[in-house]
Amino acid sequence: MNGPLNDLIEALREELRQYGEMLARFDDQVEDVSRNASAAALDGAALLHDQSMAIEKARRRREEAQRELAGQLRLAKQGSLTEVVPWLPQKYQPLMRALVEECHRLPQAIERRIRQNRQLTAKR
């Protein structure tokens, strides 16, 4: 189980890193709008799109690792991450809970930033 579990942990970390990159791109977008840097804002839109694709790729990799681990644990392969955690060795459960919590929190933070940035750019 260690192989699939380690794969899932690494996939979760990568997904979280990609979410963090997206938040950083939104920060850049706010700076560009504040400086009235329209060319940079256009480049930023392309970077946001690219980052969305990187998030999707990381999410698919994490889902694949999740299905593999669930299969090894003889759980439903379509179950949620939260359902997998109680079946893991006790020493991994705190780490996995923290990663899962962040994996749920960061997309919500991104949605908030999207709304904030839309409001900001609409005022310009």
**Domain that includes residue 96, residue range:** 2-123
Q: Is the pLDDT of residue 121 over 80?
A: no
Collapsed DSSP state (helix, strand, coil) of residue 88: coil
**Confidence at residue 40, expressed as pLDDT on a 0 to 100 scale:** 59
Quote the tokens at residue 95. 């780490």
Query: Considering its fold, how many domains does the chain have in total?
Result: 1
By the 10 Å C-beta count (0-12 exposed, 13-18 middle, 19+ buried), 68 is classed as: middle
**Confidence at residue 37, expressed as pLDDT on a 0 to 100 scale:** 60
